[in-house]
Chain A
Amino acid sequence: MHVHRQERIWIGIGMAMLVFFLAVITTAAVVEGFVPPSHVQSIDPTKVAETPPFDHPGLRQTGPHDYEAYYVARIFSFAPATLTVPVGSRVKFYVTSSDVEHGFSIPETGVNTMVTPGWVSEVAHTFTKRGTYLLVCNEYCGSGHQAMAAKVEVK
């Protein structure tokens, strides 16, 4: 089949661009560990309230600047409603849902993950700026979805 020279060049440019993009994100994934939150750990969504550590949602310190925060998402709130951490903390968020699909997003940071009943999500972030961060559910979960939010205080 005859393919015009200009078209071959055009498709060549397109493919080169895609290969470049792929190289960038793959390098970032392998070298810097920039991968989307993909934690694989299952949990019984009907027994979240009895399953440690989600039976006591909140903050645990694991190192001088390292914390783990356990969250339960349920219609239409997060537990804990407020989390307070010192500036410079690296926080690993573990989130699960005790009812329907939710989202877990802190705008202005890279914290963004789906929260699926039956699974535990994990996403980490280092807070380098003081302030009150808004934490929102960004997946529709029912009639009170717009009110489903919490706060992260960085002091």
Chain B
Amino acid sequence: MAVATVTGGVAVREASATERANVLVLTHIYTSTLVLGLGALFGMLQGFSRANLIVMPPWFDYYRMLTAHGVLMALVFTTFFITGLFTYAVYTSIPRERSLTLGWWGYGTMLTGTAMAAIEILAGNATVLYTFYAPLKASPLFYMGATLLVLGTWMVAADVVENVVWFKRRNPAERIPLPAFVSATTMIMWVIATLGVVGEMAILLPWALGFTHGIDVGLTRMLFWYFGHPLVYFWIMGAYVIWYTVVPTTFGGKLFSDGLTRLAFIMLLLLSTPVGLHHQYLDPGIAAGWKWMHTVTTYGVVIPSFMTAFAIFAGFELAARRAGVRGFWNIVRWLPWKDPAFAGPACGMLLFIPGGFGGIVNNSYSMDVLVHNTMWIVGHFHITVGGPVALTFIGASYRLVPALTGRKLFAPRLALVQVYTWFVGMSIMSTAMHWAGLLGAPRRTSDVSYFGARGAATWHHEMSWAAFGGMLVAISVLMFIIVATGTFLAKRPAETPPSFAFATADEDGVPAPAGLDRLGRWTTIALALAVLAYAGPLWVQIETHAHLAPGMRTW
């Protein structure tokens, strides 16, 4: 909000600095909104196509659409929201005069990369799905675009970490403000994780440009999944930031425990990376022992999620008790279910319960044989990233955008209906996908009729339900786009300035150990764990010196 009257040069300068920072954050958030809209459109067409309700034309085939949906949703929508949120969290919790140059460079680089990759996908030059497994060979621009997207996030990470370092230099005795702490931890984890995909690009890009002629496929797969699982935790940590620090403000509650929140994020920093082989349980060329080792570490990363579940629900109960509410159902009723900024994340939490347990099943080593590359996996990541993560980001944006613009939310009732429509639609779609997967339906295929084979006939029923649920989600995304566009265009100023605050700690007078704030030390340990988990299997891949496979364009 602009300061209407000049009350003094200093006040005006401060206000406009905040405003300029808000524009940077808003640009991230609106970019992610736009991408979500596009991604949902492709997703809906895909569901219809897969249920044999429509046939895609040859100039925009199923796999091109699937690539666009996967890349836009998994790699772009989530990333822009998280970088925007963290920029906001750090800028507001560490007030100082700052330059926005690095932040804007980061955004610009991410956007350029996204545009390059998106153009190549839509033009049909990169129908390689979001995992881009070599030796499927996309155009060089696609790999360059993906690399730029990652390098842009590194600039945002540098901005986040620089602010935390600045704060710690000025205030060595003080704790890093919690919103800045969780943002920095997540971005450090992200940089460690993306080293894998940047390493993979260093192999793929010269090959796509014609400088090299073959690919060690096993090596690129391992580098991809070194990045691919922490990517999931990047989304989850973004959602956790909102669950821990923003959701309590919607019912006047407090952060359950400052120390435990920091501990959970440190554990996620340490354990998110050394786990990626659980995506490669069925890969040849990796000995069973390495896979088992990653089963153990993946179970380890479940612990901070258990801690989070406890802390969030305990926070609900404590706030309710302070307000004089007793009894389970009374507490449930007392929570602000009519506020979309609460209902979104809360519905997301409900979806994360089956989502998390499904993840434990997938990680259970030999059990993965039953579900690997079936629709079960598609159901799993829709009830995790498409449930808790997306609903939390959407719900939070119902508060964040008004706070950044000083405007009223357009059609708040529609926003509320949007949240519940998504919840119902995603529950139906994901359940149907899980079920189809158990029956053996493969994922990533445009048609599962298989010339009328007996087993394949049993999969259609579930896919129709999935298409119905997917349609509800797509309608819900349309509602979200209407609310977002309306808020942007209507420009109705709010009577009372809307706020997007971070909850303060509800500590029992016992401070969290200062050692938790030693981010440099934790980063070193995280890197060491990643090396320990990957040095062996990577060495085997390189030492075996697998025969190289020539690139191919099979679409």
Point out residues on A near B: beta carbons under 8 Å: 1-4, 6-7, 10-11, 14-15, 18, 21-22, 25-26, 28-29, 34-46, 75, 99-101, 103, 105, 107-108, 110, 112-122, 131-134, 136-146, 149
Cβ-closest 7 pairs across A and B: A107-B440, A142-B554, A138-B442, A14-B306, A119-B284, A44-B547, A117-B549
Question: CA of A23 to CA of B553 in the docked complex: distance in angstroms?
Answer: 44
User: Given A35-B365, A134-B450: A99 and B547 within 8 A (CB)?
Assistant: no
Tally A-B pairs: CB < 8 A: 219
Q: Is the CB of A143 within 8 A of B513?
A: no
Question: CA of A51 to CA of B136 in the docked complex: distance in angstroms?
Answer: 23
Interchain CB contact (< 8 A) of A1 among B311, B439, B510: B510
- B262-293 interface code vs A (CB 8 A; 1 in, 0 out): 01000000000000000011111111100110
Q: Which of B67-88 contact A (CB under 8 A)?
A: none
Question: CA of A144 to CA of B63 in the docked complex: distance in angstroms?
Answer: 10
User: Given A18-B302, A108-B440: A143 and B63 within 8 A (CB)?
Assistant: yes
Question: CA of A99 to CA of B299 in the docked complex: distance in angstroms?
Answer: 35
Write out the residue numbers on chain B whose beta carbons fall within 8 Å of the beta carbon of A121: 284
Say yes or no for B448: interface residue by CB 8 A criterion: yes
Q: Taking A42-B285, A100-B133, A113-B284 as given, write out 6 further A-B residue pairs in contact, using a Cβ cutoff of 8 Å, ordered by the A residue number.
A: A25-B367, A41-B284, A46-B550, A101-B135, A114-B280, A142-B552
Write out the residue numbers on chain B whose beta carbons fall within 8 Å of the beta carbon of A34: 365-366
Q: Is the CB of B373 within 8 A of A38?
A: no
Query: Please, which residue of chain A has its CB at the minimum distance from the CB of B280?
Result: A114
How many residues in B have their beta carbons less than 8 Å from beta carbons of A?
79
Write out the residue numbers on chain A whose beta carbons fall within 8 Å of the beta carbon of B547: 42-46, 118
Question: CA of A154 to CA of B185 in the docked complex: distance in angstroms?
Answer: 55
Q: Is the CB of A142 within 8 A of B555?
A: yes
Question: CA of A143 to CA of B129 in the docked complex: distance in angstroms?
Answer: 12
Q: Is the CB of A103 within 8 A of B442?
A: yes
Say yes or no for B175: interface residue by CB 8 A criterion: no
Q: Is the CB of B306 within 8 A of A120?
A: no
Interchain CB contact (< 8 A) of B310 among A10, A29, A122: A10
Distance (Å) between the CB of A108 and the closest chain B CB? Answer: 6
Q: Which of B338-368 contact A (CB under 8 A)?
A: 360, 364-368
- B526-547 interface code vs A (CB 8 A; 1 in, 0 out): 0000000000000010001011
Interchain CB contact (< 8 A) of B263 among A1, A15, A140: A1
